[in-house]
Every structure is written in C-alpha cells, then in structure tokens.
Amino acid sequence: MGAYLGSPIYMVKTHLQAQAASEIAVGHQYKHQGMFQALSEIGQKHGLVGLWRGALGGLPRVIIGSSTQLCTFSSTKDLITQWEIFPPQSWKVALVAAMVSGIAVVLAMTPFDVVSTRLYNQPTDAQGKGLMYRGILDALLQTARTEGVFGMYKGIGASYFRLGPHTVLSLFFWDQLRTLYNTYTK
C-alpha cells in the first residue's frame, strides 16, 4: 500500500535523477525544476491517473523484496541454528541470516527495479500513456530480449550497497530488540 501511495514521488525522483545536460543525457529527459513543480505539471497535464503512471511496476518490487527479505532471514536463521554453527542465542546467527537475506533481496528485486525505472522514465503521449512499454510484463520481456538476462540486473552493485546494509541493520536490530523484549517480559 505504501509503495502504491508513494508512487508519484518515486516517479518524480526517477525523472529528476535521470535529468542531465543535453551533452550527456541518456534516455528520455523531463525538464522538471523540482519535486513540487513536477507533481503539479504531471497532475495538470495528465490528471491523477498520470501521477500514478507506472505505479503497478513498483508494486512487485516491494512485494518480492519484502517477502524475500523476511523469508530468507527466518529460514537462514533456522538453518544456522539447526546446524549449530554458532552457540545457541548468539547474535552472530541473526547477523549472518541478515547478510544472506540482503543478498537474496537484491537478487530478487533488481529486475523489478530496472523495470520500474523504465516504466516511470519512458516518454508519454498527450494522454500520459507510456510510449515504450505496455506494462510490467512487456518491459521485462523487452529488456530480456534486447539486453539478455544481465540487462535485468543493471545497477545490482549499487542496489546491494544500498539495500544490503539496510537489510542487515534492520533485521539484526529487530531480532536483537525482540530477544531483549522476550527476555524482560517473561
């Protein structure tokens, strides 16, 4: 729900980050002056529908990312505990499980990041409809056909350096706080 509601802001962020001087510009260039101006312009030109153009492309990214993160953390933590790699209740179990989860999240989410960026940044017609892709599946298929599987993983290094630490810190501290809570509430 949060990804859908925040979609107009994510789209404008994508537009602003893609803007460059004409000498080095790649892809479609929007000429926004800032976030509020962009939201206003898109809303005036294309209405509410235009503000949520590409929103469905961001949903799989969040759904797959979150489910991968939670499932791999829990499963890896159970396996590490079962294999007795670390002493029972060691903080290292949560740390290693969170690190594995960070890698899994990036591998699962990056194709949807690429597609989401392409849906948000494609040029539009007068009605605000994208001119390059018909939707998520079309963007995935076109990317795979023209750039191969590795085209789906553009920016994976940057994604890991952004999502890896976030995943590790979030899950590790959540697990440690849960342990403290259980220790002092029993």
CA distance 157 to 68: 18
Cα of 131 vs its chain's centroid, Å? 23
CA distance 136 to 54: 8
Residues 91-112 have a mean pLDDT of 95
Q: State whether 6 and 83 are in the same domain.
A: no
Q: State whether 78 and 96 are in the same domain.
A: yes
Least Cα distance to 134 among 82, 21, 58, 57 occurs for 57
Q: What pLDDT band is residue 128 in, cutting at 50, 70 and 90?
A: confident
* 3-class SS of residue 124: strand
Model pTM above 0.85 = no
- 148: containing domain: 59-185
Q: State whether 154 and 120 are in the same domain.
A: yes
Residue 101, Ramachandran bin (φ over 0: left; ψ between -120 and 50: alpha; else beta) = alpha
Q: State whether 76 and 148 are in the same domain.
A: yes
Q: State whether 86 and 64 are in the same domain.
A: yes
Q: State whether 39 and 68 are in the same domain.
A: no
Q: State whether 33 and 49 are in the same domain.
A: yes
